[in-house]
A and B are shown apart, each in its own frame.
Chain A
Amino acid sequence: GAVVSQHPSWVICKSGTSVKIECRSLDFQATTMFWYRQFPKQSLMLMATSNEGSKATYEQGVEKDKFLINHASLTLSTLTVTSAHPEDSSFYICSATTLQGPGELFFGEGSRLTVL
């Protein structure tokens, strides 16, 4: 299957700093990537849809200025958590689809963010 790589796997930062998470499709071009957030023992919550070369589409209730998404190329999307606070601590996971065949989502490894 297609491979999606996410980095970093985990990060600890101080409150008020910004953190960037990268999501790369390694062996296919992903015109669309999705960013999810997952709280402990809960389901995945879609944050935004990232489209290459255009602005991301955010889900209702997700702060655009807090969670900056950039999809500069067909293989890279980034999520920047700006001015992070402890309540932003969570598991963030990106995904992409080839839009071919059944169109299953291929997920990155996820990034566990802890804001102190």
Chain B
Amino acid sequence: AQKITQTQPGMFVQEKEAVTLDCTYDTSDQSYGLFWYKQPSSGEMIFLIYQGSYDEQNATEGRYSLNFQKARKSANLVISASQLGDSAMYFCAMRDSGTYKYIFGTGTRLKVLA
């Protein structure tokens, strides 16, 4: 069965600093997709970044980058130059290539300090 693990319930980072949010996954599939979503206190889920299992390069989207280490089955999110607005819950997710179902991790609550 597929599984996503986020071991950091909460993280603090100083404004303008970089922060890494950890995510490990478990799957027997060869083809899969990994996603990161941000959930502010308002509740909506915001898509941040995607990494395909066959992508050789780490994904980047603005201040977000994904440190993808396939052999270790990890897909850590790196947020550079943190902003106060980055304070939110962050979820790592994996998509099943066959059913398109998404499995979410337990999330990491990030607090950016001024």
Point out residues on A near B: beta carbons under 8 Å.
1, 32, 34, 42-44, 46, 49, 91, 93, 95, 97, 99, 102-110, 112
Give chain B's interface residue range (CB within 8 Å of chain A).
Answer: 20 to 34
> Which B residues from 68 to 114 make CB contacts under 8 A with A?
91, 93, 95, 99-107
B91 touches A107 (CB 8 A): no
For A91, the closest partner residue in chain B by CB is B43
For A57, the closest partner residue in chain B by CB is B99
* Contact sample, A vs B, 5 pairs, CB 8 Å cutoff: A34-B102, A44-B91, A99-B100, A104-B50, A109-B43
Pick from B37, B43, B100: contact of A103, CB under 8 Å: B100
Contacts of B47 in A (CB 8 A): 1, 104-106
Contacts of B46 in A (CB 8 A): 107
Whether A112 contacts B43 in the complex (CB less than 8 A), given A42-B106, A43-B91, A43-B105, comes out as yes
Nearest Cβ on chain A to B79's Cβ, whole angstroms? 18
Nearest Cβ on chain B to A113's Cβ, whole angstroms? 12
Whether A103 contacts B33 in the complex (CB less than 8 A), given A44-B104, A97-B100, comes out as yes
Whether A93 contacts B45 in the complex (CB less than 8 A), given A103-B33, A103-B95, comes out as yes
Q: Mark contacts of B40-77 with chain A using CB atoms, 8 A cut-off: 1 yes-contact digit, 0 otherwise.
A: 00011111001010000000000000000000000000
